[in-house]
Amino acid sequence: MKNNLFLDAAFSKSTERPPVWMMRQAGRFMPQYWEIKNKYSFLEMCKNPEIAADVTMLPVDLLGIDAAILFCDILVTGEAMGGDLSFTQGVGPKFANPVRTAADIDKLETDVVDRLQYVADAIKVIQQRLDGSIPLIGFAGAPFTVMSYLVEGGSSKDFKLTKLLIHNHPELAHRLLAKIAKVTTDYLNLQIAAGVNALQLFDSWALALSWNDYQEFSHQYNQQIIAGLNRTNVPVISFCKGSSVFAPIMAEAKPDVISVDWNADLLNIKKALPAQIAVQGNLDPHILYADQPVIKKHILQLFERMRGEQGFIFNLGHGIMPDIPFDNVKYAIEVVKEFRY
């Protein structure tokens, strides 16, 4: 690898500066993304390896980040299991056949990794294009988050149906989560075999859970997945909205990196974790709307706070919003790349 900053930081080694990549770095804030998106549906982009590679490479070519992340979606596992998935502009993902009963859960299949071969094919194309320049991050949605979409039938503000399931019918919730965890483990192992250099597990909606419910309905399945990966020198990043609260439990699953939302002081989180666990984050993405001197000030404040710490990857506390100015994202990355400890 010509640029080892990201992998070194992920394994808590010293780096001359923090490596930088950003969640949703290949996406809707880029005019070049829309040039592609206007020709294809979202799922067509995910399922065509050449197009997925084109989108994955946009931030590599235009922003100069230290790690690429595979262009795909966390819900492809739910689709592979039998979910009728679609994406509508302005609405987001929808499952036309939500999972709400024991019969619905029984219908979901688990030996489905062959249906996700298009992701492995995309990884191979991307690695050819990267040619060892920077690492490629693969990813999957964590079981609780994928379950919430399957049960709600799409996005939700209150996760009412999901919470009714886990509270009124916990045995059904566990049966569903176990199925998703099995598929997710197989899927991430497919990505490792195809050649990714790192993995991120996205538990985007874990923040909807209480402490006890997180332990029961999220953490144990994430732990199971991380333990089931066939990996050598492939670090795993664990991310959730709520990591500022759940980081101590997340550490028990033994990820290499915990990605932290912007509600916590990153150094305090780092000091509370085992020494071998790195942290990723945690700039509030809304700061990228601000004037460029403000962006610089906040990034440098974070870097001064983390000075002297091994195992720090710069990222946002969540993904880039679609209407953040492209030039501000590019400027933020330049600020990071000019910094030296």
Question: Who contacts 67 (Cβ-Cβ below 8 Å, separation ≥6)?
Answer: 6, 19, 21, 134, 135, 136, 137, 197, 198
At 208 the pLDDT is 96
CA distance 306 to 341: 10
Give first-to-last CA distance, the chain, whole Å. Answer: 22
At 131 the pLDDT is 98
Q: Would you tell me how many other CB atoms lie within 10 Å of the CB of residue 272?
A: 12
Angle at CA 140, nearest 5°, toward 284 and 211?
Answer: 60
Residue reference for tokens 């990355």:
333
DSSP H or E stretch at residue 240: strand 236-240
Candidates 67, 194, 181, 39; CA nearest to 119 is: 194
Side chain identity at 79, as an amino acid letter? E
Side-chain-side CA neighbours of residue 72 (13 Å): 31
Q: How far does Cα 305 stand from its chain's mean position?
A: 25
Contact assessment for residue 18 and residue 312, using Cβ atoms and an 8 Å cutoff? yes
167-206: b or e for each residue (b if 16 or more CB lie within 10 Å)? eebeebbeebbbbbbbbbbbbbbbbbebbbbbbbbbbbbb
Lookup result for tokens 């001064």? 304
DSSP 154: B
Measured torsion, CA atoms of residues 108, 110, 111, 114, in degrees rounded to the nearest 10? 80
Residue 23 burial (CB count, 10 A)? 22
Question: Which letter does DSSP use for residue 280 in this model?
Answer: E
Q: Quick one: pLDDT at residue 91?
A: 87
pLDDT at 256: 98
From residue 31, give the alpha-carbon distance in Å to each of 27, 59, 85, 312: 9, 12, 26, 30
Residue bearing tokens 């990201």 = 6
d(CA 217, CA 156): 18
For residues 241 and 69, what is the distance between their CA atoms, to the nearest angstrom? 19
Measured in degrees and rounded to the nearest 5, phi and psi for residue 142 equal -70, 155
- Other Cβ atoms less than 10 A from the Cβ of 2: the count is 8
For residues 117 and 276, give the distance between their C-alpha atoms in angstroms, rounded to a whole number: 33
What pLDDT does 90 receive?
82
- pTM reported for the whole predicted model: 0.98
Per run of 10 residues, the mean pLDDT along the chain (length 341 residues) is 97 97 97 96 97 98 98 98 94 96 98 98 98 98 98 96 98 98 98 98 96 98 98 97 96 98 97 97 98 98 96 98 98 98 90
